């Protein structure tokens, strides 16, 4: 540990804490010198130039499309986003030209260039077999003819996604702001400012520990505006944790992430310099998270060779186990935030002219000629090749098929699960004997231990399953649910996190998209609101936005504290909110048997799952078989059969519904109780069958009544069972207010068995 409190008592001696200096603009070589000394070959230099040219050609095509000046498709009406990165080509090409095929990137809404560059340089490094795997329809081609055909396909699929076409990288579902290509390690561009930074951080966690990923790095592109964003700063803090390299680390290797601040000096129209920032260089941000400033450096982002040099040195730092690295790439965008932004209200022509004097494409072209790397004729040939390739790809994309409206929500969920663990992940290291879950003579286990046993079994079964959250390691989580798991599985698989709910969930997304199966814990469900962007805009959407090119198999465990007197910020039952987010599953077990079976199903499912746990249920005991079993999603449990009225109820309210049914039975009223177990997917068939039998229904939960999922139950029953109803369907829930702390008020706030009895009698 670097902190001076480590292994010592307090030391309050007067001192001055000095910060290391931050180097800036360190690259002072010339292209000519590097070429003459053979540090870089002609082939490499031409590859770099072509890469920047492909980006520039693509971006200028978008610009021309708006006015119909791109002649090859002047008949095509383009309606997509227009966030151009003209001027920033050196950042994308410089970084991606130093990455391997298996290295990863995340990008931004202005990320066409990053995507093009990552694919371009990956294709350059592929052999024929890899190229054929990427484009199987080109099986008759070989060598450079094959490579050029695959390159054109890359440009075509990029344009097709921009145009919202079925043949695009995301089948037109994500569009240009969400473009991804997982075959070459591109985990996606992100329309949420800073949204990709925690994803990159999570991917870095996998590259840090996974045997097959070791040696790979994650290059995270985000703009200057992102580096005032909360989850971005949380991510830098996460990546710099001492526990990765300090005394308690089992794998003493820093985070292999290169955070690239693409500082083009404007957020949208707001100027970063002298307006919305309080520092002269954003590289200073690193000083807040790491004693070495995260090896921060300011780099000339208009010079592709300077960017390449910085990335190479960053890789060397990471290879020594000293990552992460923070690079500020000082660059410029020549156009406004989008083409609707004329930019004349917040910058001058003189400013733009000065930046255009160091245009990365134009200057590099002249350097190639001055160094006699290439002739005018050769360079013209490259330029003609790029323009013609883009034109053919654009025409083909414009003519290609639009997605079928019938498939508007296709790819919302995947129906796949992890039935079989890949062999390389079957042998999980167990450092100490697994915790033993105690059963009483009747085989009863607490709800808490049922979840714990399910997690232990899944972690022992599959090395990709990891558990993390606040206080889950040594302490065993706030409710002692994970006690002993750290000792058994090690800190690489069970570890504490900073108090950073957004980064906890965002990192889980990155891990899941990189092939692992994370279980992230949020201590209270209320805190999911801190992470709602990462849950709702990231975890929920990537499978759909990439046209099923990726899966996001993660579990977010969050407990509901209602009924314990914890007040308005620790008591909310928010499962209805996440049931409203397409792309996520929502499970809420009401008893120990379901708790174990559902957590195991959640871990194996390939969709993101919000797994809700009732804190009042943690000590409730129930029968839990020792042999393995799963509880399927979307299959309700008929808790008790009845004939007069149906209760549809979940979570802790199930026990109250049973009490109410017992009292109603004394009056001759027969209640059928259905626990859906999962709100998404929901077992409508079982509910409809029950209501058609009883003719009456009460939908019950501990959610605040207004906006509760109980309203959806009322709507669906009314629509599908209207002819069978003998009375309106009604709801019972918490009061439409904020959970109070006072015992008397909370007792009045939450629904009671008597409330359920009164509702049933109203129908009868």
Of 259, 257, 260, the C-alpha closest to 318 is: 257
Q: How far apart are CA 494 and CA 158, in angstroms?
A: 39
Radius of gyration of the chain (CA): 29
Of 153, 227, 161, 168, the C-alpha closest to 196 is: 227
Q: What is each CA distance from 342 to 269, 336, 345, in whole angstroms? A: 10, 6, 8
Q: How far apart are CA 643 and CA 368, in angstroms?
A: 85
Dihedral sign (CA 287, 289, 294, 300): negative
Q: What is each CA distance from 315 to 40, 257, 288, 740, in whole angstroms? A: 17, 9, 22, 53
Residue 501: active-site member: yes
Tokens read off for 41? 């070959």
Please enumerate, as own/partner, the contacts of 72-76 that have beta carbons within 8 Å and a separation of 24 or more. Answer: 72/391, 72/394, 72/395, 73/394, 73/395, 73/398, 75/398, 76/163, 76/398
Name the catalytic one among 161, 295, 570, 575: 570
Q: What is each CA distance from 140 to 3, 125, 131, 132, 148, in whole angstroms? A: 61, 20, 12, 9, 13
Q: Which helix (H) or strand (E) covers residue 460, if one does? A: helix 447-461
Residues forming beta bridges with residue 517, ordered by sequence position: 465
What number of other Cβ atoms are within 10 A of residue 422's Cβ? 11
Residue 109: active-site member: no
Q: Which helix (H) or strand (E) covers residue 621, if one does? A: strand 621-623
Q: Which helix (H) or strand (E) covers residue 658, if one does? A: helix 653-666
Q: How far apart are CA 215 and CA 139, in angstroms?
A: 31
Report the SS3 class of residue 736: coil
Angle at the Cα of 510 (from 507 to 516), degrees rounded to 5? Answer: 105
Backbone angles phi, psi at 167, to 5 degrees: -85, 5
Tell me how far apart the 2 most distant CA atoms of the chain are, in Å. 98
Dihedral sign (CA 275, 277, 279, 282): negative
Supply the DSSP string of 549-616, one letter for each residue: S-----EEEEEE-TTSS--TTS----HHHHHTSTT-EEE---SHHHHHHHHHHHHHBSS-EEEEEEGG
Q: How far apart are CA 581 and CA 576, in angstroms?
A: 9
Q: How far apart are CA 330 and CA 224, in angstroms?
A: 10
Name the catalytic one among 458, 501, 575, 672: 501
What number of other Cβ atoms are within 10 A of residue 204's Cβ? 33
Q: Which residues are catalytic?
A: 501, 570
């Amino acid at each position: 540990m670097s902190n001076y409190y480590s292994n010592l008592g307090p030391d309050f001696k007067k001192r001055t804490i000095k910060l290391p200096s931050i180097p800036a603009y360190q690259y002072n070589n010339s292209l000519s010198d590097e070429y003459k000394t053979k540090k870089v070959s002609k082939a490499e230099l031409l590859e770099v130039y072509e890469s920047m040219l492909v980006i520039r050609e693509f971006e200028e095509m978008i610009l021309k499309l708006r006015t119909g000046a791109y002649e090859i498709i002047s008949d095509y009406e383009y309606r997509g986003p227009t966030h151009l990165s003209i001027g920033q080509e050196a950042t994308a090409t410089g970084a991606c030209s130093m990455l391997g095929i298996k290295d990863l990137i995340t990008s931004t809404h202005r990320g066409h260039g990053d995507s093009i560059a990552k694919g371009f340089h990956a294709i350059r490094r592929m052999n024929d077999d890899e190229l054929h795997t990427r484009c199987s329809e080109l099986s008759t081609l070989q060598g450079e003819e094959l490579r050029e055909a695959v390159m054109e396909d890359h440009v075509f699929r990029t344009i097709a996604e921009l145009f919202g076409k079925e043949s695009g990288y995301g089948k037109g579902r994500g569009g240009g702001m969400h473009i991804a290509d997982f075959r070459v390690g591109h985990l996606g561009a992100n329309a949420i400012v800073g949204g990709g930074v925690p994803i990159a951080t999570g991917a870095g966690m996998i590259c840090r520990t996974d045997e097959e990923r070791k040696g790979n790095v994650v290059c995270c592109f985000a703009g200057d505006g992102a580096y005032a964003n909360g989850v971005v700063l949380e991510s830098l803090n996460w990546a710099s944790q001492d526990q990765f390299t300090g005394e308690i680390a089992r794998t003493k290797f820093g985070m292999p992430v290169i955070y690239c601040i693409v500082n083009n000096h404007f957020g949208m129209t707001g100027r970063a310099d002298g307006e919305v920032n309080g520092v002269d260089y954003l590289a200073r941000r690193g000083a807040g998270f790491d004693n070495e400033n995260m090896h921060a450096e300011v780099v000339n982002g208009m010079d592709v060779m300077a960017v390449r040099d910085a990335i190479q040195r960053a890789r060397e730092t990471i290879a020594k186990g000293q990552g992460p690295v923070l690079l500020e790439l000082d660059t410029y965008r020549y156009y406004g935030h989008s083409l609707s932004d004329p930019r004349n209200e917040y910058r001058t022509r003189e400013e733009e002219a000065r930046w255009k004097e160091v245009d990365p494409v134009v200057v590099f072209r002249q350097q190639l000629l001055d160094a006699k790397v290439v002739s005018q004729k050769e360079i013209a040939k490259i330029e003609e090749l790029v323009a013609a390739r883009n034109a053919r790809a654009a025409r083909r994309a414009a003519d290609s098929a639009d997605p079928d409206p019938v498939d508007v929500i296709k790819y919302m969920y995947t129906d796949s699960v992890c039935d079989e663990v890949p062999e390389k992940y079957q042998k999980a290291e167990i450092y100490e004997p697994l915790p033993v879950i105690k059963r009483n003579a009747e085989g009863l286990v607490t709800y808490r231990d049922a979840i714990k046993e399910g997690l232990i079994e899944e972690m022992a079964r599959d090395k990709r399953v990891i558990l993390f959250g606040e206080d889950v390691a040594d302490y065993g989580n706030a409710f002692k649910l994970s006690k002993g798991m750290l000792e058994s599985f090690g800190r690489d698989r069970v570890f504490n996190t900073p108090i950073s709910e957004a980064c906890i969930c965002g990192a889980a997304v990155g891990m899941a998209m990189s092939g692992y199966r994370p279980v992230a814990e949020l201590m209270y469900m209320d805190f999911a609101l801190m992470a709602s962007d990462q849950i709702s805009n990231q975890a929920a959407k990537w499978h759909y936005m990439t046209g099923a090119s990726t899966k996001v198999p993660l579990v977010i465990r969050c407990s509901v504290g209602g009924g314990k007197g914890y007040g308005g910020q620790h008591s909310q039952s928010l499962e209805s909110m996440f049931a409203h987010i397409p792309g996520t599953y929502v499970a809420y077990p009401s008893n120990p048997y379901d708790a174990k079976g559902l957590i195991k199903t959640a871990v194996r499912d390939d969709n993101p799952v919000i797994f809700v746990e009732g804190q009042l249920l943690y000590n409730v005991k129930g029968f839990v078989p020792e042999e393995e079993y799963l509880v399927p999603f979307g299959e309700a449990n008929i808790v008790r059969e009845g004939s007069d009225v149906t209760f549809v109820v979940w979570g802790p309210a199930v026990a109250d519904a049973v009490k109410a049914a017992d009292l109603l039975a004394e009056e001759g009223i027969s209640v059928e109780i259905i626990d859906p177990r999962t709100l998404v997917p929901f077992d409508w068939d079982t509910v409809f069958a029950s209501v058609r039998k009883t003719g009456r229904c009460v939908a019950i939960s501990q959610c605040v009544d207004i906006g509760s999922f109980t309203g959806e139950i009322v709507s669906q029953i009314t629509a599908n069972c209207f002819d069978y109803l003998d009375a309106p369907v009604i709801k019972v829930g918490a009061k439409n207010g904020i959970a109070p702390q006072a015992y008397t008020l909370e007792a009045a706030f939450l629904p009671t068995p008597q409330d359920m009895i009164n509702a049933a009698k109203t129908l009868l």
